[in-house]
Chain A
Amino acid sequence: MAWTKEQMAARAALEIAPGSIVNLGIGLPTLVADYLPADLGVWFHSENGLLGMGPFPLEGEEDSQLINAGKQTVTVVPGGSTFDSALSFGMIRGGHVDLAILGAMQVGENGDLANWAIPGGKVMGIGGAMDLASGARRILVMTQHVTNKGEPKLVASCHYPLTAPRCVHRVISELAVIDVTEGGFSLVELAPGVSLDEVRSKTGAAVRA
C-alpha cells in the first residue's frame, strides 16, 4: 500500500529536527504542520513576512491581513514576528531557514528542481520558489511519484524549466523516500507493501538500493 497524502505528511514531519526554522511550500507540504508534536520547538516561516506561523484560525477569528504565502488565513504563535518582504527573503537567501519542503514537477538525479512552469502551459509565475530552492539550507521535496499521465517525476535530467540546479536533498513520494546523492537517486525507505521494482519502474533514472 502506497502512503496516503496524510501518511506522506506524517513521514515528512519526521525529517524536521527540533528547533528548526521551516518553510512549507503551497499544497501538499502545508499538511506537514499537522503532524508535528507541539513540543518540538519548530518555527514556521512564511515568505510573505511571518515567523512563528500557527494553525488556521477558528471560525470568526480570521484576519484578512494575517495570511500565509498561499494567501490563506493563518494565526501567529506566541513569540512570532512579522516583517517586510526584504527581510523575509534575506532570511531565506542568507541561509537562516533550515528546511524548505517544496512540491515538484520534476526532480533530476543530480538534484535539479523544476516546480514553477510547464513548457507550453499557463505561466503561473515564480513567486518565492527560486529563492527558497536556492536559499534554504536543506530542500525536501514532497510529490506524487508520477504525473497524472503516469510519467515519472524523478528523472535523469529535468526538461521543464529549472527552479534551481542541484538543490534537492531528499524526496518523499507516496511510494518511497529517496535521497539525491553524488551517484544519483538512492533508496532510503519503501512505503509498506511497495516493492523496489515498482519504484524503479516508475522512476526515470536509476535508483540505487
Chain B
Amino acid sequence: MSSQPTGGSRVSLKDVKKAFGSNVVLEGIDLEIPAGQFVSIVGKSGCGKSTLLRLMIGLDSVTAGVLDAPALKEQAARIVFQEPRLLPWASVKDNVAVGLGEGQSGKAADQQAAAILEEVGLKGREGLWPSQLSGGMRQRVALARALVSQPTLLALDEPLGALDALTRIDMQALLEGAWQDLGFTALMVTHDVGEAVALGDRVILIDHGQVVLDLPVNLPRPRKRGTPEFAALEGQILDKLFGDDPRAREAH
C-alpha cells in the first residue's frame, strides 16, 4: 500500500523476573521472538501478561534476567492501549503527528501522517475532532499515531477490548493488513482466545507469572474461524487455561 515496509526487530528474554516489592509477578520467562513475528499473549486477569508486555516495550524494567530488544535502544517501540488516549482538542491529523515526536513538522511529516491515515482507512477525516469519530475510528487514529514513526516493535494492550463485536472483526483485519504491509514485530495482549488464534503466528499463554503454553499457529491468512484446525487450536488453549472444567469453558 502507501507506506513503505519498515521491517521488525527481535525481542529476547532470558530467565526474566519481575517483582513489585515482595510480589513476584513474572518468573523464569524465556522467549525468543524473531523479527516481524505476530505474537498473541493470552491469560486470565492478573496473570502477568500486561506486565510482560510493559517489560518488552520498556515501560517497566526487569527485576532480574536479561531483556534484549534493539527496538528499545533505537526508540522504535510503540504501544496502543485499550483506550485510544487521543487528545480531544487536537484534530485527527494533529493526534497522529504526536507520534512523530518533538520537532517533526513540515511537508515530510504531513506526508507521513497522510500515508499512515490512508493505511488505517481514515483518508479524508484528517480535520475531524476525536469526538466526531466512532470508537473503532478513534482506535484507528491511535494505531496510526503508533505507526507513523515507523516502529519496528508494536505492543498492543487489549487494543480491541473496548469495541463491539462487529467493529472488532473489522479492526482485526485492519491490524493484520497493517502488520503485513509494514512488517513490524507485533506483541498483542488479549482476553479473546479466538482473536489470539486469528492474528498470532504464535500464541503464548501466561499463568501465574509463567509461560505455560507456547503454541505456533500455522494456518494460512486470512484465517477463517470455525474451521476444524482453528477450533482445535482454540480448544487446546482453552484446555490449558481452564483444565477440564466444562462450565468455565462454556462461559468463555
**A and B pair up:** no
Binding site for A on B (CB under 8 A): none
